Amino acid sequence: MRLVCGALFALLALAAAAGAATPRPAPPSFVGQPPPAVASYAIAARLDPGSHRIDGRQTVRWRNPSRLPARELCFHLYVNGFRNSASTWLRREGREQIGELEPDGWGWIEIDRVEIADRELTLDLAFAAPDDANPEDRTVALLPLPFEVAAGEELELAVWFTAQLPRAVARTGYRGDYHFAAQWFPKLGVRDPDGSWRCRQFHRSSEFLADFGDYEVEITVPERFVVGATGVRAGSEPAGDGEVTHRYVQRGVHDFAWTAWPDFVEHTRTFRYEGRHEGLPEVEITLLGRPDAKHHAERYLAAVEHSLRLFGTWYGPYPYTTLTVVDPAWGAGATGGMEYPTFITGGTRIFNPAPTMAPEGVTVHEFGHQYFYGLIATDEVAESYLDEGINTYASYRVLAEAYGPRAWSFRAFGVPLVFPGIRQSWQLDSRPGYFRRPSTDPIARTSYGYLDRQAYRDLTYGKMALAMGQLERMLGRETMERAMRAYSAEWRFRHPRTADFIHSMSRSSGRDLSGYFDQVLYGSDVLDYAVTVAESRRRKGPIGVFGEGDERQTFAEAEQLPGFESEVVVRRLGGVRVPVAVELAFAGGERRRLRWDGEERWVRYRITGPRLLWAEADPDEVHLLDVDRLNNSRRTEPDRRASRRWTARARFWIQNLLETFAALA
Amino acid sequence: MREIAAARSGRHRPSALAAAAGGLRDALGRPGAVLALLALNLVAALAVAAPVASVLSAELDRNLYGETMAGGASWRWFDTVDREHPVLLGDLAAWHALLSDEGVTLGDLAKLSGLPLALAVAGLGLYWLNALFHTGWLAALWRQDQRFDAGGSSLAPGTAGAMLAGAARFAVPATVITVLAAAGYAGVYALAYVWLGRVLDGVGEASQREWVSLGLTWLRLTVTLFALLAVKLWSDLAKTLLVERGAARPLAALPGALVSALGELLRRAPAYVTAYLALALGTPLLAALWRLVAVLLEPATLWPILVVLVLAQQIVVGARICLRLAHLAATRRLVVAERV
């Protein structure tokens, strides 16, 4: 056994990994004090672009963060998700991707050798399938340790591995000579304080979780390749045979990804911002762009600058000194739209006019993950909504603030058709999928436990973002900002759970939010308020028999009284109960605001006064989760202007379509 | 008709553009035919649009969204209506498959419902009815020429009765041509659009350059459009030759017309294509003109403007029908010229 502590490790490990004498001092990669390292990696990797294969050796320094001694290690071997059609990734929701891989685009990773304290343990490795007991799945491997690692103690191990990149699929792989290496090395799972491992298999609808640490990675590629990676480039040296070795370092992160392509066009910019009260640290931004989309470089860089400024202002400064954005090669879009620490991928098209917000939307979203996944490192498998949902909400705020609403558009034959007259709100209109199937599952599920992949997207991204937006409208923007900032500060460089999030938000906002989150996170009921009756009629006196004896009188005709009697019925059609405002508008301009707690199924209002014109439930659109906004309002008298206008248009379109059929005759 | 009479006498052969202009004159000279086809189109459109109108009324008349939609458009309203009334637009995935590289399958078509199904049924019905009408119209023109040739100025020109009689006489062979043309269109879609698309997609992605993919996509579209045009021209030629040859025994004339149409198209493709495209330019011009006019005819506030709008819409559709008949007449003029 060899337990290694202290700073000597880094130098020794690097020297061993790189086979070099003494590494040069690396430029700073972190502003301030990085978090305590749990899992640090020194990796030397060489890419053979012909076979798309990576040969690597890594030295891992791991500190047991739990309260109990460790007797085994758990590794993720993610690339094995693309090994064959029997893997858990490909045999279920990912089966549609098999066509992308066959016949020769499969990916795999093999551990060639494992050593701890000069003792080879390769034969002790065993694959495990803790989620579905699939014997063919090789995305998780257990390594029994020859000795116990006590709580807080450190362990060093060396791993030799070979990774065959798949043809570009789901975030990783190659296309021609474009290579994107994500989840490409054996990576340790996360050991919880109670001694259990969070080390799930690789599923189609799942992402990642790892502990923070320091990374020093040497990547050897042919000289013609342009390389980008997590972290700061600390140098490049010839490696012989027309190859070059690039060295990257990064402290305080929990993953490392990189890309290599001869055709990348590099654009750089330094982000500087002096806010009103406090400045934000400088960040070197690098865009590795497609040569045929160079004209979008400025839009990418501007989107990153907006993100650095607004995320930094709202949720705390970005603590790293670099950020690299990759615009994947054409045909390798599967590697786009993804986040890694200090390293994100976007995606654009040659024709993307500004109103489509195509590179901006994805760039801001993936940057947002630097916070909600990167810094606040929630479990993307067990609680994916905590990163995807919260980040969707946060990135929509940035997009709305920086750009305003976008125009509706669709793409036909590579050309976008933009309809500037139809504006889409980022917060309200960007994730409509949830409303189509709102009750498939509660949000709070493992990412692979939803009914299907669409449900995963609709709930983790869509419903959670809407729930956060609704919370902002319920609490008020200032309170929400304060609560989110407090949550971000409290859980930075940690792994918060759902309960931690709810507790933090409740404490900071001064409101008990558990009832709200119980309904929207743990329940699958819908929120739907409807005005089902809105009527107004002239007041009339009573008719019938009145009085007794000699004074008995029959009134056959009602007496006209001044004013109107109006009736409004608001119903709660869904299971979610939240208070709702009801606004009534009367002739003469009078408005009345009523408030209903929503506890019963319906409420009826009877009002005497001016003529009622309309009634609306939730007039301020606080309830973003309301599944049907069309039934939220009702007029007492119909107004046919809109339906006439759109009927005329619809019929004209239909006439033209039918004439097109006739023209073929 | 003087040009045709002259062509028959061998004194003059119209150019493609002259044939197009003459075809336009033929179509404009018979507003009754245009009006009849417009009425047919309108009746079908009203039937198809009825459920749309019903939903629009239900979801706008008493709804505060009506205010927005009276003055502009609300994306959220469209999205919600689509969600709340799934039968209205039907299975959009089937529509998407139609345009995607994957191509639509019979299974996709079987899933059509709602408005798309109504449109498909009405469209196919109109396709067939218009094919019959086209034949009748050609027969009426032919009869009229004969009378001019005979110097019979006292005889009435082609009438609605003559058209209907012609349509009835040639109904069976015209239907055969229509079915064959439909099969041709389907074949073009399957081969030039879907199959070629799949092949070229791989090439485009392997190039790692989007502009290569775009170029290949547009190449495929061009090939598809020209192949569709070839089927259309062949169909028009077959009908023209059928009418010219088959006044007495239409069915017997059909095989010869089908084969001759192919030969005619191969021999003089540039002339037929030029005449067709010259008139086809009218459609985008109409669309551009409509974009300008429609802004002025916004019926949000005054109902009389709605009436003007509806009338203007009918003029546009009528103009398209007129162009369609002009295509047919231009083809006929070129056929006649070729046979001089």
B72 in A contact zone (CB under 8 Å): yes
Residue A321 has pLDDT above 70, yes or no: yes
Domain ranges of chain A: 1-20+35-259, 330-524, 529-643
CA A526 – CA A318 distance, rounded (Å): 37
β partners of residue A446: none
Q: Say if CB A345 and CB A336 are below 8 A apart.
A: yes
Q: Is A99 on the interface with B (CB under 8 A)?
A: no
User: Which of A414, A432, A435 is the closest to B214 by Cβ?
Assistant: A414
Give the nearest partner residue to A292 out of B129, B210, B316, using CB atoms: B210
Query: What does the block give as tokens for B152?
Result: 């019979």
Task: For A433-468, give the DSSP string.
Answer: HHHHSTTSS-S-S-TT-SSSHHHHIIIIIIIHHHHH
Contact B335, B240 (CB under 8 A): yes
* Range ranked top by mean pLDDT from A245-254, B137-146, B306-315: A245-254
- Tokens 């993950």 locate to A369
> How would you class A608 by CB atoms within 10 Å of its CB: exposed for 0-12, middle for 13-18, buried for 19 or more?
exposed
* A439 reaches B (C-beta below 8 A): no
Res. A11: pLDDT tops 80: no
Q: Which two tokens stand for residue A70?
A: 């460790």
The radius of gyration computed from the CA coordinates of chain A, to the nearest angstrom, equals 30
Q: Which residues of A touch B309 (CB under 8 A)?
A: 648
> By CA distance, what is A648's nearest residue in B?
B310
Identify the helix (H) or strand (E) that includes residue A286. strand A279-289
Query: Pick the residue with more confidence: A305 or A412?
Result: A305
For A9, the enclosing helix (H) or strand (E) is helix A8-18
Mutation target vs A (from B37, B68, B209, B298; most A CBs, 10 A cutoff): B209
Q: Is B131 on the interface with A (CB under 8 A)?
A: yes
Under 8 Å CB-to-CB from A85, ≥6 apart: which residues? A91, A95, A98
Is A659–B321 a contact, with Cβ atoms under 8 angstroms apart?
yes
Q: Are B27 and B326 within 8 A, CB to CB?
A: yes
| Contact in structure between A656 and A570 (CB atoms under 8 Å) | no
Secondary element (H or E) of residue A399: helix A385-403
Can you give the pLDDT at residue B110?
78
| Residues whose CB is less than 8 angstroms from the CB of residue A398 and which lie 6 or more positions away in sequence, other chains included | A306, A307, A310, A311, A364, A368
* B207 contacts on A by Cβ (under 8 Å): 330-331
- For the ranges A61-65, A147-151, B157-161, the lowest mean pLDDT is seen at B157-161
Minimal CA–CA distance to A269: which of A260, A282, A259, A257?
A282
CA distance A239 to A44: 12
Whole-number Å distance between alpha carbons of A506 and A305: 31
Judge whether residue B154 has pLDDT over 50.
no
Q: Quick one: tokens of B17?
A: 């553009």
Which of A581-595, A603-617, B164-178 comes out lowest in average pLDDT? B164-178
Question: What is the nearest CA distance from B331 to chain A, expressed in angstroms?
Answer: 14
Task: Say whether residue A3 is in contact with chain B using an 8 A CB cutoff.
Answer: no
User: Is the dihedral angle over the CA atoms A327, A332, A337, A343 positive or is it negative?
Assistant: negative
For residue B149, pLDDT beyond 70? no
> In CATH, what class is A1-20+35-259?
mainly beta
- What is the rounded CA–CA span in Å between residue B164 and residue A524? 62
Tell me whether residues B45 and A655 touch, CB distance under 8 A: yes
- Find, in chain B, the residue whose alpha carbon is nearest to that of A410: B96
The pLDDT of residue B312: 92
The verdict on A71 touching B (C-beta cutoff 8 Å) is no
Q: Quick check: B217 and A414 CB within 8 A?
A: yes
Question: For chain A, what's the residue count?
Answer: 665
Of A331, A534, A646, the CB nearest to B208: A331
Which three-class secondary structure state does DSSP give residue A613? Answer: strand
Position B89 scores a pLDDT of: 78
Residue A582 pLDDT > 70: yes
Query: If you write DSSP's letter for every residue of A477-534 in order, what string do you get?
Result: HHHHHHHHHHHHHHTTTB---HHHHHHHHHHHHTS--HHHHHHHHH----B-EEEEEE
Helix (H) or strand (E) holding A360: helix A358-368
Going through A129-212 in order, the beta strands assigned E by DSSP cover 140-149, 154-164, 173-175, 178-181, 187-188, 190-191, 197-198
Give me the pLDDT at residue A8, please.
Answer: 38
Contacts of A298 (CB under 8 A, 6+ apart): none
Residue A284, strand partner residues: A270, A322
CA nearest to B179 within chain A: A665
pLDDT tens-place string over residues A536-565: 999 999 999 999 999 999 999 999 999 999
Mean pLDDT of B277-292: 93
Residue B34 CB neighbour total at 10 angstroms:
20
What is the DSSP code string of A627-662? S-GGGGEEESS---HHHHHHHHHHHHHHHHHHHHHH
State whether A330 and B213 contact (CB < 8 Å): yes
Q: Which residues of A touch B300 (CB under 8 A)?
A: 641-642, 645
CA distance A612 to A298: 53
CA–CA distance, B206 with B221 (Å, rounded to integer): 20
Check whether B336 has a pLDDT greater than 80.
no
- Kindly tell me if the per-residue pLDDT of A46 is higher than 70: yes
Query: Taking CB atoms and an 8 Å cutoff, what residues of chain B touch A629?
Result: 65, 76, 80
Nearest to B57 among A643, A652, A662 (CB): A643
Residue with tokens 């920086």: A402
Q: Work out how many domains chain B is built from and give that number.
A: 1
Does B175 reach chain A within 8 Å, measured CB to CB? Answer: no
Mean pLDDT (chain A, rounded): 94
Reading the block at residue B30, the tokens are 């018979």
What is the band of A21 on the pLDDT scale with cuts at 50, 70, 90?
A: very low
* In the predicted structure, residue B310 carries a pLDDT above the cut 50: yes
Q: Report the amino acid identity of residue B9.
A: S
Q: Give me B235's structure tokens.
A: 């169909």
Are A331 and B127 an interchain contact pair (Cβ–Cβ within 8 Å)? no
pLDDT band of B246, cuts 50, 70, 90: confident
Report the distance separating Cα A211 and Cα A195, nearest Å.
14
Q: Which of A330, A535, A660 to mutate to test the interface with B (most CBs of B within 10 A)?
A: A330
3-state secondary structure chain B: CHHHHHHHCCCCCCCHHHHHHHHHHHHHCCHHHHHHHHHHHHHHHHHHHHHHHHHHHHHHCCCCHHHHHHHCCCHHHHHHHHHHCHHHHCCHHHHHHHHCCCCCCHHHHHCCCHHHHHHHHHHHHHHHHHHHHHHHHHHHHHHHHHHHHCCCCCCCCCCHHHHHHHHHHCHHHHHHHHHHHHHHHHHHHHHHHHHHHHHHHHHHHHCCCHHHHHHHHHHHHHHHHHHHHHHHHHHHHHHHHHHHHCCCCHHHHHHHHHHHHHHHHHHHHHHHHHHHHHHHCHHHHHHHHHHHHHHHCCCCCCHHHHHHHHHHHHHHHHHHHHHHHHHHHHHHHHHHHHCC
Q: Is the pLDDT of residue A393 over 60?
A: yes
Judge whether A306 is closer than 8 Å to chain B, CB to CB.
no
Most confident residue range from A241-255, A537-551, B11-25, B201-215: A241-255
The shortest CB-CB distance from B79 to any of A175, A432, A647 is to A432
Asked whether the ipTM of the predicted complex exceeds the cut of 0.85, the reply is yes
Q: Does A296 touch chain B (CB under 8 A)?
A: no
* The amino acid at B173: P
Q: Report DSSP state, residue A350.
A: S
B102 in contact with A at a CB cutoff of 8 Å?
A: no
Identify all chain A residues contacting B55, using CB atoms and an 8 Å cutoff.
none
Q: Which residue has the tokens 């009750």?
A: A439
In the numeric block, the tokens 């969600």 are attached to B83
Task: Tell me how far apart the alpha carbons of residues B108 and B99 are, in angstroms, rounded to a whole number.
Answer: 12
**What integer pLDDT is reported at residue B303 of this predicted model?**
72
Q: Is B222 on the interface with A (CB under 8 A)?
A: no
Which residues form the domain of B306? 2-338
A349/B44 CB distance under 8 A: no
Asked if B45 lies within 8 A of A635 by C-beta distance, the reply is no
CATH code 3.90.650.10 for A330-524: no
pLDDT of A622 > 70? The answer is yes
Say if residues A246 and A227 touch (Cβ distance below 8 Å): yes
User: Is residue B47 within 8 angstroms of chain A, CB to CB?
Assistant: no
pLDDT band, very low/low/confident/very high, at B273 (cuts 50, 70, 90): very high
A residues 416-435 closer than 8 Å to B (CB) = 419, 421-425, 428-429, 432, 435
Query: Å from B56 to nearest chain A CA?
Result: 5
**Residue count of chain B:** 340
Contact of A410 with chain B, judged by CB distance below 8 Å, is answered with no
- Residue A154 identity (one-letter amino acid): E
Partners of A421 on chain B (C-beta within 8 Å) are 72-73
